[in-house]
Amino acid sequence: MPGFLGTPGVTRITNKTDAVVGASGSPVRVFDFTVVATNTATVAVLRNGTTTGGTNQLQLDAAANKCTTWTSANGLLFDGGLFADVDANTTAVTISWMPEL
For residue range 3-60, list pLDDT tens digits in order: 556 788 999 999 889 999 999 999 999 999 999 999 999 999 999 999 999 999 999 9
Mean pLDDT of 88-99: 96
Is the Cα torsion angle 92, 98, 99, 101 positive or negative in sign?
negative
Residues 37/83, Cβ–Cβ less than 8 Å: no
Distance CA 62, CA 69 (A): 9
Q: Do strands 28-37 and 67-78 pair parallel, antiparallel, or not at all (unpaired)?
A: antiparallel
Amino acid at 81: G
Task: Please state the separation of Cα 79 from the chain's center in Å.
Answer: 13
- Locate the domains of the chain by residue range: 9-99
9-99: CATH topology is Jelly Rolls (2.60.120)
Residues 78/22, Cβ–Cβ less than 8 Å: no
Mean pLDDT of 49-72: 97
